[in-house]
Structure 1
Amino acid sequence: MFVLATAGHVDHGKSTLLRALTGTDPDRLDEEQRRGLTLDLGFVWSRLPGGRPLAFVDVPGHQRFIANTLAGIATAPAVLFVVSADEGWKPQSQEHLDAVDAFGVRTGLLVVTRADLADPSAALAEARERLAASCLGAVDAVAVSARTGTGLDALRRELGALAAAAPQADGDAPVRLWLDRAFTVDGAGTVVTGTLTAGRLTVGDHLELAPEGRPVAVRGLQCLGADADTVAAPARVAVNLRRTPRAMVKRGQALVTPGSWWRTGTVDVRLDEEGVTLPAEPLVHCGTAMTGARVRPLGPGAARLRLRTPLYLHIGDRLLLRDPGSRRLTGALVLDVAPPELTRRGAAATRARELAAMPDSTELTVQLRRLGLRRRDELRAMGVTVPGDRPPAATDGPAADHVVSAGGWLLDPAYAAGLGSGLEDAVTAHQQSRPLDPGLPVTEAQRALRLPEAALVEALATERLLVRNGRLYRRDAPAALPAPLREAARELEADFRSAPFRAPTGQRLRELGLTRQALAVLVREGRVARFGDIHLPADAADRAAARLRVLHGPFTVGDCCRALDTSRRVAIPLLEHLDRTGVTRRDADTGRRTLRDG
């Protein structure tokens, strides 16, 4: 289906043309019929000679109904721009063209109507010149008379050519269906309508009603009055919502794919005009939504908008800013849906320079170059294309041309390389300052690099770093312990050979020069094992279990002391360790223990 907004000139000229093309009057309200004036959006459709369906959204021409006009233009993939031969270019024509320009509609067709009342050449020439200066550029044009039928066949052929040449909609894109009508159907419940510009809707889909975020389900679909199981963009679609009260839906809301859009109340934008002076509180139009906003100018052509009502947006979306005190319409391109706070002196000017150089591309590499790192689901919600992960190459550090993936995070390769270098420096500094404790804890490295998750640290570790037991070491660091600690460990091992279950006393540890920190190093290196406040050989637990197996039946702490030739000071923490590891079982009533099988 091809969908056009019919805009540009006097209401009766557009409405008459649409009646001639479709056989249906777009002015559906009684007051519109009585006054001969389009007040709200009208929806009609027809088929081209080849059978292709064609839908029209008729927008009001009068400036008093500009909000309705903008809601119709914003959601249409193309525009049928209408100018009458007898009246020529009018102020509302320019206003409609400004809206087309602001929303970035690039596909269109010019129609000069009422060619039976005046020579259309003058109106045609002026309209062509005006449209050429907009984002529509040079467009084809047709002069017609709806009353006599002159030119209507040529118009249908041009519409067919326009539809065939229009860019294809992305059928796999997430849905954001801006609602333009909501009503109740007997026996069906709440029905909403809108122009589907991308993606597809299917009966049974679970969506969100934006901006409230309320979950909704698709009970039924219609396209051009016919029931459908699936509707693909572009299309006019009516959606029957399951168990959704009519009072909860209205124009300006949207049905969106959950998790695929960024709900935001603050956006940074690039204005279409650098020298424009914005009002302090413009009205912001996006799709069929309209909300107030406060503007913070950042620099030439750049501004920050704080929205009164959040919008579900992607990077690259188009907004229209309207001055409620005048007829000025200004287009704006969304560059950042989650902008940083501006707190320092001069931050606004710095941000303006950043925005001036900021691309609107939603390619992953482009956005990661700006962001550094971001969660995968957040990037998708911003509108960034996130393809399948590519693992980093097995080189010294993250590959220069590969996005780095760690858990749910994606990192720019250059940013990751910088973090990896910083991580090496941190490990080296830790090793030099604490030779007895050379391994930098991963959690400490996370804080030093200001990373959101510890899992990122291991992903950033270069080939010169080793991750072991939650710590980072340099691979080229000396493996041997410092000489004094190595000698103390040998003496302690000699003590254990003669009495493996006699824990060294505090006096003996001081004689050996073994501080708490030195003992922790020996434990980490696997030279000794710690049980509570005592230290024993590394294999003490296994050796104790072997000796205790010679005790037949339940045994007491005293039995354990005699079997191991040790004291209660050692036996109790050792037995508690055996309990925790499932080697022994303690009877709560008698306090006796038995060894488990195996």
Structure 2
Amino acid sequence: MHVVATAGHVDHGKSTLVRALTGMEPDRFAEEKRRGMTIDLGYAWTRIGEGPGATELAFVDVPGHERFIASMLAGLGPAPAVMFVVAADEGWRRQSEEHLAAVDALGLTQGLLVVTRSDLADPARATAEALEHLAASTLGTVDAVAVSGATGAGLDDLRRALVDLTGTLPVPRTDGRVRLWVDRSFTIRGAGTVVTGTLGAGTLAVGDTLALGRREVTVRGLQSLGADATSVAAVARVAVNLRGTDVDDVSRGDALLTPGAWAWTDVVDVRVRPHTGEVADLPAELVAHLGTAAVPVRLRPLGGAMVRLTLHHPLPVEPGDRLVLRDPGRHAVAAGAVVLDVAPPPLVRRGAAAVRADDLARADDPAAALADRVRRTGAVRAADLVAEGVPTQDPSRVSTVGAWFVDPATWERWQTGLGEAVDEQARRTPLDPRVTAEAARRRLDLPDRALLAPLVEAAGLAYADGRVARPGAGTGLGPAEAGMARLEAHLAADPFAAPERPELDAWGLGVPELAAAERVGRVVRLAPDMVLLPTGPAQAMRALAALPQPFTTSEARLALGTTRRVAIPLLEHLDRRGWTVRVDGGHRRVKGR
């Protein structure tokens, strides 16, 4: 599963868009439906595609109005990607900027621009304006799709873009400790207390013991995407039925934790990046948002970009966590921050703050820190390091591959592993000796599908149509080549006399062989075992265009000199291509005639 949060100005169609994509109602309250405005977090999900390759998407729909900015941050904070929404008829607005400031503060690098209400205005201007703003944030250059939630125009393009977006997300960690930030809590009759949240790392299972504050609770049941589950792995939207706590004892901002695995602290040293101005311009009193928690903090500058934050109450924090610092007086994002130390030393001597700032800065030896981190993880996204404030000016000890820093030994191991995967596929299925991009990514445990294309090139392989193979592999049909020649000769003599199953069997052409022939462009399949030559549909169109319009199936059959067995699936094929159009139950016409 992948989780995507919405962002954007109030009344720009975020909820309408989610509703159109999922068929579900993200607004939960009668007041939201009456006012046509989201005032709290909403959730919906969908499945794009069919079968095991389908993409499961869960959406966190956040409110756009400035009065609900805290709720927006609670939804956006735990999500790994964002769908930024701007209306074509209004363009970039004040809350657009506010939401982008939050995205930037969180360091989100994966997103998609969706220009809604494209039925009301030309989306070109709003698209160009929004892309310029997004490019200046941690999102950088993103894809853009124009849609109309009211008419459905562009939704198929958006679904494809969302699938592409999820393909760029890093592979989540599914083992180790868990920290689930709670965004909702409620009671279900007969079940008891239920909480929901976005699981960003780790795995939850029925029967797990978790810490909720200072007490332990047990996972009584789990649901994800509305279905019961015995375990749920990150990344996922999850509902957790808890035993051992009342609903009044848990609320948004609490966290379910692996017991004993997290440090609770109320003092952290951070590297801060103001949204505007300098560190010295930041107010002393702010609100820090982490996950779904919102905690008042007091800010003490240490020097440069280094700041100490004293939290109103402790939170489970780890180095690398990203905070959004909000100015409650202005209802605005003031800065983003990266946690550097969750147990900082006290500052008791004169000048201790400046010394501490120097110590924190010296801890960032650019070349050594970069090489060590890349070596430990195999590959690190450059944008993630930049967003965290990690210096990347000297990548001499690592390999630069597109937007990634990669350990040279890991890169060589991936090349070898990819070649082995391709050769295994060729031995297993000679008719299709190609490995899908997703299978290759999973086989190698690549953190990003974007690494696959340069890896294929480095390994001397071929990459086309989302599949990897040896150069030149997959164009022939091997043992089926003789039967294919018989089929081609048969159809060359009579283009619409599609052979029946006994003839195909005699030629050694089963469904797998025909599928392989279609893949390399040698036939067009009207059904699993019914084929024509690739020129067949165009030949049929020439014959059909000469008929009086509209025409019946019988008239088409006679014009083509074929049987109903072939004519009906051929006409349906032409319908799908948009070359012919149904007029009524018994007639069609050539499009444009």
TM bracket, shorter-chain basis: 0.5 to 0.7
The offset of 1:364, in angstroms, is 13
2:318 corresponding residue in structure 1: 314
Q: Distance in 2 between matches of 1:360 and 1:27?
A: 48
Deviation, structure 1 residue 302: 1.2
1:25 corresponds in structure 2 to: 25
Question: Deviation per CA, 1:256-276, whole angstroms, max 9, x where unpaired?
Answer: 112222110100000124823
Mapping of residues 1-400 of structure 1, within 5 Å: 1-11=1-11, 13-50=13-50, 51-209=54-212, 212-273=213-274, 275-276=278-279, 277-326=281-330, 327-359=332-364
1:166 Cα offset (Å): 1.1
CA separation in 2, counterparts of 1:174 and 1:106?
24
Q: 2-side partners of 1:76 and 1:11: how far apart?
A: 22
- Structure 1 unaligned segments of length 5 or more: list them: 368-598
Rounded to whole Å, the distance in 2 between the matches of 1:197 and 1:342 is: 34
Q: Which amino acid aligns with 2:292?
A: T
Aligned equivalents of 1:156, 1:67: Cα separation in 2: 29
Q: CA deviation at 1:28?
A: 1.2
Q: CA deviation at 1:109?
A: 0.7
Matched to 2:313, the amino acid is: T
| 2:25 partner SS | coil
The one-letter amino acid of 2:164's match is A
- Paired-residue identity, %: 62
In the alignment, the residues of structure 1 paired with residue 217 and residue 244 of structure 2 have an alpha-carbon distance, to the nearest angstrom, of: 8
2: CA distance between counterparts of 1:343 and 1:121?
58
Structure 2 residue identity aligned to 1:358: A
Output the CA distance in 2 between the equivalents of 1:335 and 1:365.
Answer: 18
Over residues 382-416 of structure 1, what are the superposed CA-to-partner deviations in whole Å (9 max), with x where a residue is unaligned?
xxxxxxxxxxxxxxxxxxxxxxxxxxxxxxxxxxx
Q: CA deviation at 1:94?
A: 0.7
SS at match of 1:11: coil
Q: Does structure 2 conserve the Cα–Cα contact (< 8 Å) formed by 1:12 and 1:36? A: no
Aligned twin of 2:454? none
Q: Deviations over 1:429-477 (max 9, x none)?
A: xxxxxxxxxxxxxxxxxxxxxxxxxxxxxxxxxxxxxxxxxxxxxxxxx
Cα distance in structure 1, aligned partners of 2:118 and 2:340: 44
Give per-residue Cα distances to partners, 1:324-352, cap 9 Å, x unaligned: 11124310000000000111110001111
TM-score, L = length of structure 1: 0.59
Pairwise CA distance, 1:246: 0.8
- Conserved 8 A contact 1:293-1:308: yes
Q: Is the 8 A contact 1:264 1:310 kept in 2?
A: yes
Question: Secondary structure at 1:350's aligned position in 2?
Answer: helix
Displacement of 1:203: 0.6
C-alpha contact (below 8 Å) 1:181/1:250 kept by paired residues: yes
Q: Distance in 1 between matches of 2:171 and 2:207?
A: 25
Cα distance change of structure 1 residues 314 and 33 upon mapping to structure 2, 3 Å threshold: same
Question: How far, CA to CA, are the matches of 1:96 and 1:336 in structure 2?
Answer: 28
Q: Which amino acid aligns with 2:335?
A: T
Name the stretch that deviates more: 355-364 or 87-96: 355-364
One-letter amino acid of the structure 2 residue matched with residue 62 of structure 1? H
The 8 Å contact of residues 5 and 57 in structure 1, kept in 2 or not, is answered as yes
Aligned length: 365
8 A contact 1:335–1:358 mirrored in 2: no
| C-alpha displacement of 1:146 | 1.2
Question: Residues of 2 paired with 1:357 and 1:149: CA distance?
Answer: 54
Determine the structure 2 residue equivalent to 1:506: none
Pick closer, same or farther for the CA change 1:343–1:129 going to 2, 3 Å: same
Per-residue Cα deviation, 1:540-576 (whole angstroms, up to 9, x for no partner)? xxxxxxxxxxxxxxxxxxxxxxxxxxxxxxxxxxxxx
Are 2:12 and 2:85, in contact at CA under 8 Å, matched by a contact in 1?
A: no
**Partners of 2:371 and 2:119 in 1: how far apart?**
56
Could you tell me which runs of 5 or more consecutive residues in structure 2 were left unpaired when the two chains were aligned. 374-593
SS at match of 2:295: strand
- Find the aligned partners of 1:301 and 1:53 in 2 and give their Cα distance: 40
Checking the alignment, whether the CA contact within 8 Å between 2:147 and 2:153 is kept in structure 1 is: yes
Secondary structure of 1:97's aligned partner: helix
Cα-to-partner distance string for 1:187-218 (whole Å, 9 max, x where unaligned): 11000000001111011111111xx2211111
CA distance in 2, matches of 1:239, 1:123: 41
CA distance in structure 2 between the partners assigned to 1:365 and 1:128 by the alignment: 33
Larger Rg: 1
Distance 1:324 1:358 in 2: 32
Whether the 8 Å contact between 1:74 and 1:288 is mirrored in structure 2 is yes
RMSD of the alignment, in Å?
A: 1.9
- Distance in 1 (CA, whole Å) between partners of 2:334 and 2:64 is 15
Q: Secondary structure at the match of 2:39?
A: coil
In 2 relative to 1, CA 204–365 (structure 1 residues): closer, same or farther, beyond 3 Å? farther
Q: Secondary structure at the match of 1:272?
A: strand
The separation in 2 between residues aligned to 1:360 and 1:225, in whole angstroms, is 47
Q: Separation in 2 of the partners of 1:280 and 1:366? A: 35
Q: Is the 8 A contact 1:178 1:253 kept in 2?
A: yes
The whole-number CA distance in structure 2 between the counterparts of 1:12 and 1:110 is: 13
For residues 263-314 of structure 1, give each alpha carbon's deviation from its aligned partner in whole angstroms, at most 9, with x where no partner exists: 1010000012482322111011100000111111111211101101111011
User: Does structure 1 retain, via aligned residues, the 8 Å contact 2:282–2:334?
Assistant: no
Please state how far the C-alpha of 1:70 moved relative to its aligned partner: 0.5
Partners of 2:287 and 2:118 in 1: how far apart?
Answer: 37
Give the CA deviation at 1:60.
0.5
**TM-score normalized by the length of structure 2:** 0.60
Tell me the residue number matched to 2:568: none
Instruction: Tell me whether 4-13 or 219-228 shows the greater mean CA deviation.
Output: 4-13
> For the structure 1 residues 163 and 269, does the alpha-carbon distance in structure 2 shift closer, same or farther, using more than 3 Å as the test?
same
Find the counterpart in structure 1 of residue 434 from structure 2: none
Residues 11 and 60 in structure 1, CA contact (< 8 A), matched pair in contact too: no
Q: Give the whole-Å Cα distance in 2 for the aligned partners of 1:280 and 1:179.
A: 28
Counting only pairs closer than 5 Å after superposition, residues 401-440 of structure 1 correspond to structure 2 as: none
Q: Contact 2:102–2:333 at 8 Å: present in 1 too? A: no
Give, in whole Å, the separation in 1 of the partners of 2:333 and 2:255.
26
The equivalent residue for 1:503 is none
For residues 122 and 93 of structure 2, the distance between their equivalents in structure 1, rounded to whole angstroms, comes to 17
**Does the 8 A contact of 1:196 with 1:232 survive in 2?**
yes
Q: Distance in 1 between matches of 2:334 and 2:8?
A: 15
Aligned to 2:466: none
**Deviation digits for residues 483-534 of structure 1, max 9, x if unmatched?**
xxxxxxxxxxxxxxxxxxxxxxxxxxxxxxxxxxxxxxxxxxxxxxxxxxxx
Q: What pairs up with 1:443-458 in 2 under 5 angstroms?
A: none
Q: Judging changes above 3 Å, is the alpha-carbon distance between structure 1 residues 97 and 360 closer, same or farther for their aligned structure 2 residues?
A: farther
Kindly state the Cα deviation for residue 12 of structure 1 after the two structures are TM-superposed.
Answer: 5.4
User: Given the superposition, is the C-alpha separation of residues 86 and 220 from structure 1 closer, same or farther in structure 2, using an over 3 Å criterion?
Assistant: same
